[in-house]
Amino acid sequence: MESAIHTLSDLFAQLGLDPSINAIAEFVAEHAPIPSEVPLHQAAFWTPTQAAFLLEAVQQDADWAELVDQLDVMLR
């Protein structure tokens, strides 16, 4: 059974991105800020698969939703 407790590193790995602390910081520095009117999943830098995962996680209030919200805040 999959653990319901995920970390930000786990989210980055799930998205196919480098999950290291330094890589996460670099990602945020490179891509922030996203304009407030653009939903996180519609940011131009996501692949279609990544965007779909982010949207589904929030819509379904999945285990990942809290981390997706955290990433959203980080990128604003």
Q: What is the pLDDT of residues 4-18, one digit of tens each?
A: 689 999 999 999 999
* Residue 3, Ramachandran bin (φ over 0: left; ψ between -120 and 50: alpha; else beta): beta
Task: State the pLDDT at residue 1.
Answer: 40
Fold (CATH) for 8-74: Arc Repressor Mutant, subunit A (1.10.10)
**Domain segments of the chain as ranges:** 8-74
Going from the C-alpha of 35 to that of each of 12, 40, 63, the distances in angstroms are 21, 9, 26
What are the 10-residue block averages of pLDDT along the chain, 76 residues in total? 77 98 98 97 98 96 92 97
